[in-house]
Structure 1
Amino acid sequence: MLLSRKRRLLKWAVLLIWVVVTILAVPAAGRLSDVVQAKSSAELPRGAQSTKVDELTSRFPDGEQAPGIIAYVRPSGITATDRAKAEADRRALAPAAAGTIAGPVPSRDGRALMLNVPLKDDDTLSDKAEKLRDRSLADVPPGLEVRLTGPAGSALDVGDAFKKVDKPVLIATIVLVAVVLLLTYRSPVLWLLPIVNAAIALQVTGAVVYLLGEHAGLYVADGTSTILNALVFGISTDYALLLLARYREELRRHRDRHAAMRAALRRAAAPITASAATVSLGLLCLLAAHMGFNYALGPIGAIGVLGGLVVVMSLLPALLVIFGRWVFWPRIPHYGDPAPARGIWDRIGHRIAARPRLVWVGGLVVLAALASACLGISTGLDRAHFLTTTPSSTLGEQLLAKHYPGGQGRPLQAITGKPSAVRTALQDAPGVARVGSPQPSSDGHLTRFDMVLTSPPDSAAAKETVRELRETVPDALFGASTASEIDLADAQSHDRRVVIPLVLAVVLLILIVLLRALVAPLLVIATVVASYFAALGAAWLLFRYAFDFPALDIQVALMGFLFMVALGVDYNLFLVSRIREEVGRTDHRTGVLRGLGVTGGVISSAGLVLAATFGVLGSMPVTMMVQIGVLVSLGVLLDTFFVRSVIVPALALDAGPRFWWPARQNTTPPPTTQHTPIDATTGR
């Protein structure tokens, strides 16, 4: 009796703890943007030449700068009024500059002026660039086009893109999830509980990330919070749906709701915890990445997943038993109610069971057809397509390219300890339009040269020039501009080669441990990988012919693989673990069909929720986010409604008991009796 009373008081203690935690977390989560490292070079790959150049810039008097370059262009020719405007801007911007602002540089054709404003490259770069833009656009003479470009202009475009959409994207996510939950439960109250739990998980995660960023040096990159919102909201809601479904089952078998919740937690804990382990460990594989954004997302994403797990497995059960059965109104599950009538997933399962081999072979043919579109994928977006609309800084760069050498807006940098020999080699190198004056380091040991290439920085010709310079001038380190883009692409290629096998190994190991089998995990992994390539092919067709994107961003393939494999395995894990449970009570065929029938509805709802949360990213102005959102949404829907619901059950049915090899499974015929309700007071 005393133990029962303590158990009933526990829910109130849990609720009180979470109220206190939430009150403490909200202010800290609100300061997450304070620890975002907006420095333009923050995402450079570890160990690359461009990263070493960036690290060495602090040794120069004007080091760690990101210039804002203002282009003044008049097609009919620059006038005295235009020159006065540029000179007035130079004087007005002098207090904000990190060094002396040289006078406006005229173009040879007399149609343009260029003002180079040195700015300190730190976390306030975007704010300083905004002041430059505002000043340069004030009092512009009629007919004069003015654009801010250079590293500072690019940083401002990126900062504007994320600042303007972060909150609207989160609001849209909440609305979409609420609509899916309302359609799923048709309850005026129940849908709120997963939303509340996801919101609290997001606040707790934001607070932890802020504290680690502020006091432990955790790297938080631009855009991380946007993906974190989608991940935490989607995965927390998924876990809540799975627990709710199991709790509703147990309410029909237990008279006491506390006993029903204990049974639901006992049965749901293993697959939900294994899911969280799969996703979080998969994300932590990004710690082996070289690229800054990938490396940053790993621990932050893992924190978000674990935060969602802890909230859903503690706060949600407390809220459910506090509210009681009525929270499911109008479809309240009562003790002794019969199991729900045979639904659509039962009917689908029996149709699959008629010819399982034909089903899975045909399914793989469909996936292969979609995946064949991957053969035409182009990878690597230029700066003109970084945003879904052409960035202002890109327009400025294009203006400069018409009137100055191609790389004027983003000069290449070379740092060396042998200045004389290197300068001669650079001046004689093909593809180099101009080599700037040598800039000695403060200690006199190093020299830096700023170079302008004959080709635009994003062009293939510029990249070829940099590669040749690195081969022919080994005494210098090359960074910034085109060199950084080359190193980023090389780092992303490394990350795909290293991270993808790690993720597959981690996921496979978790599946083997959970299912205590080898064949089932291998088949599940194979279907998820096939689903990924099919979704990638379908997404590429959309990007190319519907969105008119010329290429995939270099980060999309890896990010898409990580989320689709880790999250896609989730649904297969929930299905197969339930099938294993049902097979333990009956024979293999009946267990497969019963597992599909019981989990089909809730997993479909969970898939819709996750697809919706990532799909919202498609409304962002950042091309990379759009591509990740569309790819993951397509992949989740494909995996949820085709791979998990059709191909995996067909494989399990065709393989028979060998699906669980080397474990032995029950091969006795199914019992003829139904499960009877359990009275918590008697245990019978």
Structure 2
Amino acid sequence: MSEGRSRGVAWLVCGRRSKWLVLLLWLVAIFALAPLAQKLSSAQDNDATSWLPGSAESTQVLGLSEDFRPETMPAVVIYARESGLTAADRAAIAEDAAELKGLSAHGIRGEEARGPLYNRPDDPRAALIYLPVTVDEEGWERLSKAVDDIRETVGSGGGGSGGLEVYVTGPAGTNADFAEVFEGIDSTLLLAALGVVVVALLITYRSPTLLLVPVVSAVASLLSAQAIVYLLARYADLTVNGQSAGILTVLVFGAGTDYALLLVARYREELRRHEDRHDAMALALHRAGPAVIASGATVCAGMLVLLVAEMNSTSGLGPVCAIGVLIAVLAMLTLFPALLVIVGRWFFWPVTPHYGSAEPTVRGLWARTGNRISHRPRAVWSVTAVILAALSFGILALRAEGISNTDAFTEEQESIKGQEVSARYFPAGSGDPLVIVANADRAEQVGRAVAATPGVVPQSIGVPPGTAREHEGRVLFEATMTAPADSAAAKDTVERVRDAAHAVPDADAKVGGGTAALLDAETASTRDNAVVLPLVLVVVLAILGLLLRAVIGPLVLIATVVLSYAAALGISALAFRYLFDYAGEDTAFPLFVFVFLVALGIDYNIFLSSRVREEARKQGTRRGALTALAATGAVITSAGLVLAGTFAALGTLPLVGFAEIGFAVALGVLLDTFVVRSVLVTALFLDIGPRMWWPHRLADENGSSARTP
């Protein structure tokens, strides 16, 4: 596209009159969408089915169990005194049980309460009360209120009267604690990400006024994205949960600010070359716009690959993030440049880019770095690659086998403490039983098979209160495991119970429950890792090929990002084990980190390589690589710091899974920014030279000369 034509296209965004139209359209959109964005939390589905694979046996049991009873989640009240429960303790427990049986608000099914059950008839040291809570479309919000009522009734939270320990635990208690963490997650992450962006932009621009433009544009992007996601969740069955909503906030702020940094850097260059700021922005959009679009397309395509995942939480994350990035690209290529042109040059104060002033990047840090690399590029990229490969061996310390509830929080929670106390006195799986559905005429045989399975408490087999005995020739019953419900031993028990139940002829038995759901999630995540990872690579490679119109270059660039991912994963695994003392990683952790690092990490290679390609037409690939590094070094470094900082904001949540993703992605982005892009990729361009563009005609350049397009 000629420069004259590019100005004509850009004039639709930054023309003397059209810039005001762009601003007006965005103001109307924000005014209409902002109220909808505030409703996103109400559209979140944090029930088990929003996370589990749809075809899993545990998911099927969830659906079948609704025929027998309302979907419930048991709350467990545990009382304990190491020296033994006193007569006063037992009287107080009996009084609590009577009060609990009278509760009915927020889905509490007090009339179906069981207990108190003592750990032994003589000289008991602990007692349990089971209280089912109905789970419906109100989800976690209603569950949290129910558990709050139960905790208020029994006065839980640790040491009660005279040292009696009282906790509310079980699946209802644990999920209520999770709900409390996720409550306000959007505002928490928004403030954290906003703080990171403001500080980074202030350091980058050294202008208290200029940073307002990208911040306003990023907020507009986020509100618009949240509103659209809300509408799709409400009317198009898009699955949105606390995880995807939280990552949406971080991703839109991080990626959107990255695109703003790239565009404003090019705009500053053009302001020094053009007196009219409208012309400068038109050329900046023409030069930087394709890289922003390619970057956004890469991220969107990588995210949409997640749709093939079996895990509902993973497949739902894909379109949510793709929508966020798409809106961020749109805002940064329309609203952001319109605002920059409207406010004028003075908004860059105190470092204003005047017409005719010298370009500071020509003699800057990255220009000097490129000159040093150019002396021995092969040695530089070889040593860098070896170091990154060595760091990747830390992957051997990775334990992506799932995180138990006990290890899921970075801060102590009442439900987790209660679970530990309960396991000291009762079968560890008491609060979260197995749920078995089978044909009624084979129920007795299935029950015997389950009771005989190692790891199951034989006398625990039974139909829970409030459950229909039979429905359309099917029966439902529960069984308690001896191991903690979220432990590896419990998952082994589930596999044994399934084998035993499935072996009963004509029983059509299905085994579900909380532990079965964890097992099915791990199985699905393993499958997703094997399928989604290579698909993401193929998609990203195809987009790079279209952008650069080459084969060698995209293969080299994708290899550098994969190497960076492996190094980041290796360092993270070592840090989690030996620095943070985390018990392990979620099964989906490698996949999430891979998608974000490959899709986002390739951004910086796109920014650099597209500039190299532009300069190679004028001065050859090797000289063009040095010019591109000098021109883009500062902005890409700033973008990397912003993106790393926004993902690190995930660590503000007291959840190990979020903290691990935030740490690994932030680390990987920093590796991409300071090592892969600035050192490794630049050295490869200098060493391989014009062959990077094969089979494009740029591969035929001779020496430092290049054909003009």
Band the TM-score falls in, shorter-chain normalisation: over 0.9
Deviates more, 1:290-299 or 1:619-628: 290-299
Q: 2:125 is matched by which residue type in structure 1?
A: R
* Residue 458 (structure 1) shift: 2.6
Structure 2: stretches of 5+ with no match in the other structure = 1-7, 503-507
Other-structure match for 1:486: 519
Aligned equivalents of 1:81, 1:639: Cα separation in 2: 64
* Residue 472 (structure 1) shift: 2.5
Other-structure match for 1:682: none
* Residue 441 (structure 1) shift: 6.1
Distance 1:501 1:25, change over 3 A: same
Matches within 5 A, 1:207-218: 207-218=227-238
- Contact 1:555-1:624 within 8 A present in 2 as well: no
Deviates more, 1:458-467 or 1:521-530: 458-467
* Residue 143 (structure 1) shift: 1.8
TM-score by length of 1: 0.94
Tell me which of 391, 394, 398 is aligned to 1:370.
391
* Residue 587 (structure 1) shift: 1.4
- Please tell me whether residue 127 in structure 1 is matched to residue 138 in structure 2: no
Aligned equivalents of 1:553, 1:427: Cα separation in 2: 31
- Please tell me whether residue 324 in structure 1 is matched to residue 341 in structure 2: no
Other-structure match for 2:309: 289
Tell me which of 425, 448, 453 is aligned to 1:424.
448
Aligned equivalents of 2:49, 2:132: Cα separation in 1: 15
Aligned equivalents of 1:565, 1:319: Cα separation in 2: 31
Other-structure match for 1:150: 170
- Contact 1:86-1:104 within 8 A present in 2 as well: no
- Please tell me whether residue 103 in structure 1 is matched to residue 103 in structure 2: no
Show CA shifts across 1:527-569 (max 9, x none): 1000001011111121112211121122221111111110000
- Contact 1:38-1:125 within 8 A present in 2 as well: no
Show CA shifts across 1:105-133 (max 9, x none): 22216122211111112312233222222
* Residue 389 (structure 1) shift: 2.2
Q: 1:97 is matched by which residue type in structure 2?
A: I
Q: Secondary structure at the match of 1:223?
A: helix
Matches within 5 A, 1:621-660: 621-660=654-693
Aligned equivalents of 2:356, 2:76: Cα separation in 1: 74
Aligned equivalents of 1:460, 1:21: Cα separation in 2: 50
Q: 1:602 is matched by which residue type in structure 2?
A: V
Q: 2:472 is matched by which residue type in structure 1?
A: G
Q: Secondary structure at the match of 1:252?
A: helix
Aligned equivalents of 1:73, 1:384: Cα separation in 2: 19
* Residue 135 (structure 1) shift: 2.2
Tell me which of 70, 75, 78 is aligned to 1:63.
70
- Contact 2:621-2:704 within 8 A present in 1 as well: no
Other-structure match for 1:90: 100
- Please tell me whether residue 399 in structure 1 is matched to residue 421 in structure 2: yes
- Contact 1:12-1:318 within 8 A present in 2 as well: yes
Q: Secondary structure at the match of 1:105?
A: strand
Q: 2:405 is matched by which residue type in structure 1?
A: R
Other-structure match for 1:180: 200
- Contact 1:86-1:115 within 8 A present in 2 as well: no
Aligned equivalents of 2:499, 2:461: Cα separation in 1: 21
Tell me which of 398, 404, 411 is aligned to 1:382.
404
Show CA shifts across 1:482-502 (max 9, x none): 211111111111111111111
Show CA shifts across 1:334-383 (max 9, x none): 22333324111111111111111101110011101211111122222221
Aligned residues: 669
Other-structure match for 2:3: none
Q: 1:172 is matched by which residue type in structure 2?
A: A
Deviates more, 1:236-245 or 1:376-385: 376-385
Other-structure match for 1:466: 494
Distance 1:576 1:138, change over 3 A: closer
- Contact 2:629-2:682 within 8 A present in 1 as well: yes
- Contact 2:156-2:166 within 8 A present in 1 as well: no
Other-structure match for 2:250: 230
Aligned equivalents of 1:389, 1:331: Cα separation in 2: 45
Tell me which of 667, 670, 684 is aligned to 2:701.
667
Other-structure match for 2:366: 345
Aligned equivalents of 2:354, 2:469: Cα separation in 1: 78
- Contact 1:416-1:476 within 8 A present in 2 as well: yes
Matches within 5 A, 1:352-363: 352-363=373-384
- Contact 1:81-1:141 within 8 A present in 2 as well: no
Aligned equivalents of 2:390, 2:57: Cα separation in 1: 41
Other-structure match for 2:132: 118
- Contact 2:81-2:164 within 8 A present in 1 as well: yes
Distance 1:144 1:94, change over 3 A: farther
Aligned equivalents of 1:522, 1:128: Cα separation in 2: 55
Q: 2:118 is matched by which residue type in structure 1?
A: P
Q: 1:46 is matched by which residue type in structure 2?
A: G
- Report the RMSD for the aligned CA atoms in angstroms: 2.0
Other-structure match for 2:155: 137
Tell me which of 282, 286, 289 is aligned to 1:266.
286
* Residue 669 (structure 1) shift: 5.9
Q: 2:629 is matched by which residue type in structure 1?
A: L
Distance 1:426 1:513, change over 3 A: same
Matches within 5 A, 1:578-617: 578-617=611-650
Aligned equivalents of 1:21, 1:165: Cα separation in 2: 25
Aligned equivalents of 2:91, 2:494: Cα separation in 1: 39
* Residue 671 (structure 1) shift: 7.9
Q: Secondary structure at the match of 1:8?
A: coil
Aligned equivalents of 2:152, 2:225: Cα separation in 1: 36
Other-structure match for 2:593: 560
Q: Secondary structure at the match of 2:112?
A: coil
Deviates more, 1:467-476 or 1:184-193: 467-476
Aligned equivalents of 2:148, 2:248: Cα separation in 1: 27
* Residue 218 (structure 1) shift: 1.5
Other-structure match for 2:277: 257
Show CA shifts across 1:458-511 (max 9, x none): 333222221122223214211112211111111111111111111101100000
Aligned equivalents of 1:470, 1:237: Cα separation in 2: 50
Tell me which of 43, 55, 73 is aligned to 1:47.
55
Show CA shifts across 1:393-443 (max 9, x none): 122122221221121011111111131221121122222103432455663
Other-structure match for 2:4: none
Show CA shifts across 1:199-220 (max 9, x none): 1111111111111112222111
Show CA shifts across 1:253-308 (max 9, x none): 22211111111111112110011110011111111111122112111101100110
- Contact 2:75-2:170 within 8 A present in 1 as well: yes
Q: 1:430 is matched by which residue type in structure 2?
A: P
- Contact 2:224-2:327 within 8 A present in 1 as well: yes
Other-structure match for 2:461: 436
- Contact 2:529-2:588 within 8 A present in 1 as well: no
Q: Secondary structure at the match of 1:119?
A: strand
* Residue 92 (structure 1) shift: 3.9
Q: Secondary structure at the match of 1:585?
A: helix
Q: 2:484 is matched by which residue type in structure 1?
A: P
Tell me which of 18, 21, 36 is aligned to 2:29.
21
Aligned equivalents of 2:490, 2:399: Cα separation in 1: 19
TM-score by length of 2: 0.91
* Residue 41 (structure 1) shift: 4.1
- Contact 2:622-2:704 within 8 A present in 1 as well: no
Deviates more, 1:176-185 or 1:159-168: 159-168
Aligned equivalents of 1:441, 1:244: Cα separation in 2: 68
Structure 1: stretches of 5+ with no match in the other structure = 673-684
Q: Secondary structure at the match of 2:640?
A: helix
Q: 1:667 is matched by which residue type in structure 2?
A: E
Q: Secondary structure at the match of 2:76?
A: strand
* Residue 42 (structure 1) shift: 2.8
